[in-house]
Structure 1
Amino acid sequence: MVKSLVEQFIPLWALSAYHKALSFLAAKWYRSPSKKLVVIGVTGTNGKSTTVNLIAAILRDTGDRVGFTSTVNYSAGGEVQLNKKKMTMPGRFALQRMLQEMVQNGCRYAIVESSSEGVLQYRHLNIHYDAMVITNIAPEHLERHGGFENYKQAKLEYFRLLERLPNKILQGKKITKSIVVNGNDEYARDFLNFKVDKKIVFGITAVRHGNRSEKILAEQTGSDAQGSRFTIAGIRFESQLSGTFNIENCLAAIAAARTQGVGLETSRRVLQKVAGIPGRLESIKEGQPFSVIVDYAYEPNALKALYETVKSWPRRRVIQVLGGTGGGRDVARRPVLGQMASANADIVIVTTDDPYDDDPRQIMEEVASGAQEVGKIEGEDLFRILDRRQAIKKAINMARRDDLVLITGKGAEQTMATANGRYIPWDDRKVVRQELKSLLQDAGQQKS
């Protein structure tokens, strides 16, 4: 609330000057650590955190120490920790401090998930990027940016910055400036239109853009509940991550590693060992006779990819728990989320997500209205439960053998954002485990 009031009454030029000054001071305070690292930025609408983690895993296998920051987790080159800040890209001082820790810990690489919000607050300034990856781009954060074109321009700003920056010299060697672009994306050409040393386009089977760039193309693709498979230049890749969208995430990571001279065989060996990313299509197992998946998908494109992924999985009914985000975030999509859930799940339970200062009941009603438009009936296959724990409990108690329960919207987030800037400790995965154990314990007592 305070932040919104400040932004409302302070002139835009003053806010911009303030953010730029903080960015400059943060870099100077920590002695410009990004100039001592090979910095790979990862931006896009979906898949950023998974791609960051996959790039880090591949580069780590080369023997170099790697630090990274993402929406879901981070590491300064040592222990990996879950992100408790509810920020995709840390603030200026926090990010520069983390980069400095990476330098102190002997890291060669820093992989930075880079958001459009970061551009609005100039967090990207004074970060010396060496490579930028764009996973994909679709309408998102439209109210924050004032439309899709502004959102896209915010993403493009990272590539403009990369083009302007001089090549870095580390240990006497010139670092190549590189761009990695999803060639299947409608807007790929916009992100390729920059002068850098190296451009790599990735895609499935064929790409729409980037004919003059090096290509990483996946063929003979397949995905099921156990993972995904694809072939690149005759080399067969296997991943424990399911879904076509995760094949694209793997391709982005392979291409990013390629910009650093890492071969396909190394990427193949590493990717087959990555068991999963916290809160991304994460399966929760406590011995129950049905499946439970916790996933971060909170916007239409991510949900569509999730539904397409689980569509071929063996299951009876699909029970989904979802909510809508507050804080003025894309209000128009709330009924759309309900419509999508209604069309793809047999039972829909609408609940709280991150309401911020918005009325959580109103958000719930707006999502539920979309589900009703597509035919769900209150009390039969549509339920409104404001308390998220109770909503999850309801889904688990309703599940029968071979059902699939989808808990979407928060993934591995460690807090829930509520009114007046209050953050409540929260983890969907922990709540699911607790409710599953309670269910199984009650079932065991009844048998005895």
Structure 2
Amino acid sequence: MSMPEQRRILATAIPGPRSLARQAQRKAELADGLGTTMPVFIDRAGGGVLVDVDGNHIIDLASGIAVTSVGAAHPAVTKRIADQAERFTHTCFLVTEYDGFVDVAAALNRLTPGDHAKKTALFSTGAEAVENAIKIARTATGRPAVVALGHAYHGRTNLTMAMTSKNVPYKQGFGPFAPEVYRVPSPYPYRWPSGPERAAEEAFATLKDIVTTQIGITNVAAIVAEPIQGEGGFIVPPPGYLKAVQEFANENGIVFVADEIQTGLARTGAMFACEHEGVVPDLITTAKALAGGMPLAAVTGRAEIMDAVAAGGLGGTYSGNPVACAAALGALEVIETENLVARAREIEERVLPQLEELVTPISVVGEVRGRGAMLAMEFVKPGTSDPAPEVAKAVVERCHQQGVLTLLCGTYGNVIRLLPPLVIPFDLLDEAVDVLVDAVRSVG
């Protein structure tokens, strides 16, 4: 199918009658535990547009939660998928091998930060990548403990739920969780008790104290951090914090793991977000944007750490599926040849000033933050920093009614995050931001 027309079209109310009819079937057939953000069924998509079954052209500021950075139907991705699917869809790389798996690993070894020798293992989901990074770190160090940050999100498996901070909806009722996971405060500048200027120093001092006195340095296998916390609210750590944590880890034989599942591969205006701080992780996890919409994830890291696990200890039936690997090679080609790192910076330069105008001492927008095409607004009760999730939800609903898809996030449910495809046409992006700004002013 050809690329959908790159403009917003409101053919019906949103959701329209055909989506509403499908919702009734969904209710009958699917478990209630599967939520939804915008109750529309999509017929086709591409560029910066999602076309629903009622013919509405919706501007996409979500990218499938940072997945379709190159758009949902880029020819460089879809052609490689079709070509590979025609040849074979699966063999299991652990049984018989194929070039795509090795080629994706080589690309990640080249693109990830640091000039040290690296190796990669491929998996299927982001949570799987994080869990395997912990397995690798524990084997390499012979230690059990894992340190995660407050407001962190790392996945929905038992171990990654233990590492995830927010209870509802990710953890409620699902315990008990995996042991030997410890949490330290996240340097959340907007909400740091003594002020944002002290967040880096005090948060690092607290981490160091907890690791030293409560856990024991020689018990810690890994410290895991998102270079920008995603589900927690697009929290950008204050300058110097991540570097200090990395150096502390390196000095004490602890593996520093950067969870770049949401931030990686050009999203923040660098190929990887940790590059903004000059941080070189020991291990780095990728997924989401890696394969342009196909399920693929990876752990890439120092060769001597990656090789700590014996043959057969890593893998999975679908890990590094050949069709997903083909898609990844197409997506990585687009990211590099179309210079989407620079494109993400251009999106920030275009959007951030408009959002910052909404922040006043009596505004419902307490802070605007983010990097590149990973931007967010935190909503509060005017004149305070008290979270206002009901206002954020009302703004999102108004945007959806006007044909602009936005997402909520944040530990307090009061943050709207913007994750447009990096290939979105600028006129479409401008229109979407106008709708968002109008919604904020109307609701606020």
TM-score relative to the length of structure 2:
0.30
Q: Normalising by the residue count of structure 1, what TM-score does the alignment of the two structures yield?
A: 0.30
